[in-house]
Every structure is written in structure tokens, then in C-alpha cells.
Chains A and B, each alone.
Chain A
Amino acid sequence: MELLEGIADRFNYWIYVILMMIGLFAMISKNNLIKKLIGMSIFQTAIILFYVSISYKEGATIPILYHDQVHGAHHEEASVTETAAHHDAEQVAHEASADVHAEASDHAEHAASSDHDDHAVSHEDHGSLEIDPDLFVNPLPHVLMLTAIVVGVATLGVGLAITQKLYGEFGTLEESEILEQIKSAK
């Protein structure tokens, strides 16, 4: 039972491993050049899945503050406590995350206050806006993945350009035939 629960709990990590294996297999053993590139993109998407699954938090929304919260900042405590209360009710079921919550909240307290003093010049109306970090998904992996996607596109583009040049020269996309032609040509 424990193993099953383990797998269920980290379901997306399993998928990531399987995807990565498919990608790697394709890249290494496939003979056709284009198939290798496809394998490569599968491989890169597997990594992106892995990163994104790191940043997931139970019951957290996308890392963008709601419209009301942005303006809510203007009338300080009222809106924050109201949203926090609403969330508390919903989260009481997840006793597991209770301690995380408690510890996280004092984190926010500490971060907010320390941040407060060094921004002496910052505008008063923003004040100590209360944003509970557990409400939002961790944004950092998403940023990293933006870069990884772009890198994937770039490598794919260069790969395709090279395959096109090879095709123009050798007339075939099968690596084995290309090697024969080189041997015969040499």
C-alpha cells in the first residue's frame, strides 16, 4: 500500500522519468535524423514537466495577485484578513499542511517586517500588504522553464537547419546511408 500511495503521491514524477527515457532512447538509437530531433524535443519537454511539478503546491493558484488584492493593498488589513480567513476554512482539512502553514506565516511576517525597514522610502499606502506565500505556486521554476523552452526551440531550429543542409548534400535522412556515402566518397 505504501508504494502505491508513494506513486500516486508523486504521479507526475513517474511520467517525467518515462518521458525522459523515451526521448533518450529515440535520440540515441533512431537512425533517421528527424526522429532524433523529435526524440530531443520529447526529452526537453520531460525536463520542463519535472521543473513545473516541483513548483506545485497543494491548493495554490497561479502566481499572479488578484485584481482585488492589488487594490486591496490600499485599505490594508481588512482585505487580507478576509481572504486569509476564507482560505483558512478551506485548508483546515489538510492538517498535514497546518504546521507548514504556521511556519510559513511567521516566515511571511519576518520577511515583510525585515523588508519593511530597508524600504524606508517606499510608499506608505502599500504598507505591510499581507500575501500568504502558500496561496501561490512557486514562480521560480516557471521562469526557469521559460528559458528552457526557448533553448529547446533554438536547438531544434539549428538542428533542422543542419538536417536540411545534410539532406541537400546527401539526398537522404538515414544516417547509415550518409555514412556509406562518406566511406564510398573518401
Chain B
Amino acid sequence: MTEQAPVLILLFPFLTAIVVALVGIRIKTVCWPLVLLSLAGSVWASLVTLVRVIESGTISYKLGGWDPPMGIEFRIDGLNALVAVTVTIVALLVAIYSRDGVISENKNKVSQYYTLFLLLIAGLLGMVITGDAFNLYVLLEISALTSYALLAMGNIRATLASYKYLIMGTIGASFYLLGVGYLYMKTGSLNMVDIHEQLIVNHLDGSSTILVGFILITVGVWIKMAFFPLHAWLPNAYAYAPTTSSAIMGPLVTKVMIYVMIRMVLTVFGPVYAFEVLNWDNIIVWLAVIGIVAGSIGALAQKDLRKMLTFLIIAEVGYMVGGVWLADETGMVGSIFHIISDAFMTLCVFLFAGIIYTKTGRRDINAVDGLFKKMPLTMIGFLVGAFSLIGIPPTAGFFSKWYLIQGGINSGNWEYVVALLFSSLVNAVLFFRIIEIAHFGAKPVEGHDAHHGDDHAKISEGSFTQVFPLLATAAIILGLGIFNKEIVSIIQDFVSQFNLVAGI
């Protein structure tokens, strides 16, 4: 059964989505356990695939029994095995969290909500493991559609935001489709590795169709990823969405799009083409730098807790895009590791925001008033996430920043290093502002020994299904930080095969 694992990762959420759609209408309570079961199954399948990839290198799983260029195939190597494992684990954690969130916010649409939730995860997983460019478009469309719907189920502000998201998302996806069309025109094949071979065989580097195809694909992916100049739709899209939707989309959707970009740059176009022939990667690094700075400053200006976090995502996207376009091996390793560590960090912080919202019903930053005493567990979870976002040593965030800065220095883009440091400082200010309010209480009280008014007495610790995922994520962040050697070695031997020149 294990050699079927690649497809099982996808099948579990997919089939259960349909079962939930059919059965869920009648019995609402059955939805949640089903969702959990399916996601646990897909976590198992992705882990098995990861182990097989480590042992036997890249796996190629032919769908429908046809050999690659004719039929579609899954091509799983170090990179997407790791990303698949991250996606499934994050999905499982959010599923556990979602029980109270979904029931409290859209009580009568529980079965629809969970179907879309599972389809979103199936779409993302499909995008991660597929080896076929057009298939990636179809799955991209599925995850986009489900995310529009998940957003639109929130309050009215979320519906308006999801409308904007729909328009921008469709433009992004259509650009990607156009780009694939251009590639198909010149190479005649849709399978990623095949396209790459064709590009080299008929040495098409010169032709401007490939160049435009490359631009279209990268721009399309950037729009979906909310990279700086094209990020307008992200902030209020995630801020007003139902808590569970923002908790699942925050960490995953942008990260998978970054994975798609890396896959395109490395496997399809090849680093030689993407970095040397085009050689405007320095411009992109500058774009990323502006993105990081803008994201951080944007976050500073926000009062609403979740909107602040969405601006942080924009800054993180800037990290990763900058890391990739440094055209340097350590930078690339750093950005891939950042995908994994950042998915968990953002998840931890979004879960925290979700718990605060369900508990206090308030969105703004002062909602955290004096919570150190009342919700110590949640606060500890939040602390680990915040430290990791700032980059305090033992956490994963520190190590990903460590590689990124190293890459920056190697490739001589000093502005990138400065931007990274600046944004970690801004993160520090942001999170300590929250910790301070949590520690003291919103209103500064005079006098020597201030005991807070205990009007918040009724707020007790979040329910188990909410706090457990938060603490689990915090543990994973710490674990990633300490045991990052193994993960990095997997990434290393994935990146080394493209023998990126270490620093131009």
C-alpha cells in the first residue's frame, strides 16, 4: 500500500470532502470527526512519502498508468515532500481548532464549510505534488474557488474583500494559464521536467516567447502570493474572514504559491535561465526589500490584531521571494526552510488571534488586556510564536533568518540583509506591544502596586480543542528550531542538484 502513498495524500481529504457534503446535511455532528480522520490519514500518507523520498530519491507516480509526457504524473522530491508534510500537519491542527470556531460563526452551514475546507486542502496538496503544469492550474483554481467561498461565508466586510480577492485571483490564475500556454507553444509538452528538457534540447533561451511566458507565470504567481506591489487584496481578505478560514489560509495559501514559484524557477526554467540569462534578479530582490519594509510598517499602523498579522504575512512573503532571487544556494535553502517554519509561525499567531476573538469577541489589540493571568497557556503559545517571528535563537524563525542573512551576505545583496534586520526589529516592537498590554492591562494604572480590575474574570482558558493546537504548533516551532539539521540536509541535497553558484 505504501507505494500508493503519493495519491493517498490527496485522496483522503478529497473523498471525505464529498462524503461530508452528502452525509453532513443530515447529521451535523458527524462532520468534525470525519474531517479529523481524513486529515490524520493524509498526514500518515505524506510522512510515508517523505520517508520513501529520503530513501529512494525522487518518486515518479504515473497517474492512469500512462508514461509521463502523455499522462499526468506526480513528481515528488525533497522539496515538495517536505512542503506536503507541513501542509497536512497544519491542516490537521486547524481542523482540531475549527470545531468551536465553525459552530460559533456559521452554525447552519457546517457541512458546506467542512466540504470547502477539505477541498481547499486537497487542492493545495494536489498543487504541491503534481508534476504537470496544466494540472497545477486546475488545482490552483480549486483552491482559489474554495478560498473565495470560505472568505465570503464571513461577515459582510469579508464578502466584499473576497470579491476583490476573486478578481485579483482570477487575473493571477489566468496569467499563469497564459504562461503555461506560451510554454506549451514552444515546447509542446506540459510535463514540467519534459518542458525543461525541451528548453535545453532546442536551446530556446533566446526566444522571447519563453521570456514572456516566464514573466507571465511569475507575475501570475506573485499576484496569488500577494507579493508587494500586488498585495492590495490580502489585508482585509484575511482580517474579516471567519477565524478558521483565516487560520487555514494565512499559513498555507501564500506558502504553497511560493513553493510553486520555486518549482517553476528551479525545475521548469532552470536556475541557469532564471538567474543568469535574465539577470534582473537584483531588481526583484529590491522589490522584495520594499515589500518587507512596507509590510512591517503597515503592520505597525494597524489597530486590528488580525490585520496586523496579515501585513506580517506580506513581509514574510518578501523574505521568501527575496531569498529565492538571491540566486545563492544558502539563500535558497533559507527561503525553503522559511516556508516550513513560517507556515507554523503564522499558524500559531493566527490561532492565538482566533482564540482571543472567540473568547473576548474583540478584534483590536487591547483585547489582549491582562491576559497573562487569565489565559496563561494561550499566552505561552503566543509567546513562542512571537519569539520565532522575531527570531530569538532557539526557535525555527531564528534559523530561517540565519540562512537568509547568510545567503544575503554571500550574494552581496546587503540591502536584503538590512531589510531582514529592520523587519525583525519591527516585529519585536509589534509583539512586545502586545506582550506589554497582556502583561499590564490596557489602561495604564497609577500608583505603586496596581492590581487589575478583574472585570475579565469570566474569561477562562480557551477550550481544549482550541488551546491544544496552539501549544502543539508552539512545540513544533521549537522542535523545528532545534532539530533543523535533518530538514536542512534534505533541502540541501535538493538544492545542490541545481548547483546554484554560491553568490554571483
Using a CB–CB cutoff of 8 Å, the interface residues on chain A facing chain B are 24, 27, 33, 36, 40, 43-44, 47, 50-51, 54, 140-141, 144, 147-148, 151, 154-155, 158-159, 161-163, 165-166, 169-170, 178, 182
Contact = CB atoms under 8 A, between A and B. Distances in A.
Contacts of B181: 47, 50-51, 54
Contact of A47 (B134, B157, B177): B177
Nearest to A178: B160
Nearest to B236: A182
A169 B159 contact: yes
A163 B174 contact: no
A54 B156 CA distance: 43
Contacts, number: 68
B25 to A, nearest CB: 19
B435 to A, nearest CB: 28
Interface string B134-164: 1001100100010011001000110110110
Given A43-B171, A47-B177, A162 B138 contact: no
B174 A162 contact: no
B170 A163 contact: no
Contacts of B167: 27, 36, 40
Contacts of A159: 163, 166
Given A24-B171, A27-B171, A154-B145, A162 B185 contact: no
A162 B171 contact: no
A15 B33 CA distance: 52
A166 B177 contact: no
A9 B157 CA distance: 49
Interface string B176-197: 0110010011000010000000
Contacts of A40: 167, 170
A133 B144 CA distance: 37
B152 A165 contact: yes
A47 B181 CA distance: 9
Contacts of B166: 155, 158-159, 162
7 contacts: A24-B171, A47-B181, A144-B134, A155-B166, A162-B166, A165-B159, A170-B156
A94 to B, nearest CB: 21
Bin chain B's interface residue count.
Answer: 20 to 34
Given A47-B178, A147-B138, A182 B149 contact: no
A25 to B, nearest CB: 12
A50 B178 contact: yes
Contacts of A166: 156, 159-160, 163
Contact of B163 (A43, A141, A163): A163
B163 A47 contact: no
Contact of B177 (A24, A148, A163, A178): A148
A89 to B, nearest CB: 29
Please classify the interface of chain B as helix (H, G, I), strand (E, B), loop, or mixed, using the class held by over half of its residues.
Answer: helix
A44 B364 CA distance: 40
**Top-10 shortest CB links A-B:** A169-B156, A151-B141, A162-B163, A162-B152, A165-B159, A54-B185, A158-B148, A155-B170, A159-B166, A40-B170
A44 B174 contact: yes
Nearest to B166: A159
Contacts of A158: 145, 148-149, 152, 166
Interface of B: 134, 137-138, 141, 145, 148-149, 152, 156-157, 159-160, 162-163, 166-167, 170-171, 173-174, 177-178, 181, 184-185, 190
Contacts of B160: 166, 178, 182
Contacts of A144: 134
Contacts of B171: 24, 27, 43
B224 to A, nearest CB: 14
Contacts of A162: 148, 152, 159, 162-163, 166
A44 B176 CA distance: 12
Contacts of B138: 147, 151
A141 B152 CA distance: 33
B173 to A, nearest CB: 8
Nearest to B138: A147
A176 to B, nearest CB: 12
A51 B185 CA distance: 9
A158 B112 CA distance: 14
A41 to B, nearest CB: 10
Nearest to A138: B188
A162 B163 CA distance: 7
Nearest to B144: A155
Nearest to B162: A162
A141 B177 CA distance: 12
Contact of B174 (A33, A43, A141, A165): A43
A134 to B, nearest CB: 15
A165 B155 CA distance: 11
Given A36-B167, A147-B137, A166-B160, 9 more contacts: A43-B171, A47-B177, A47-B178, A54-B181, A155-B166, A161-B152, A162-B148, A162-B159, A166-B163
A148 B174 CA distance: 9
Contacts of A170: 156
A155 B156 contact: no
Contacts of A24: 171
A155 B145 CA distance: 7
A182 B236 CA distance: 13
Contacts of B162: 162
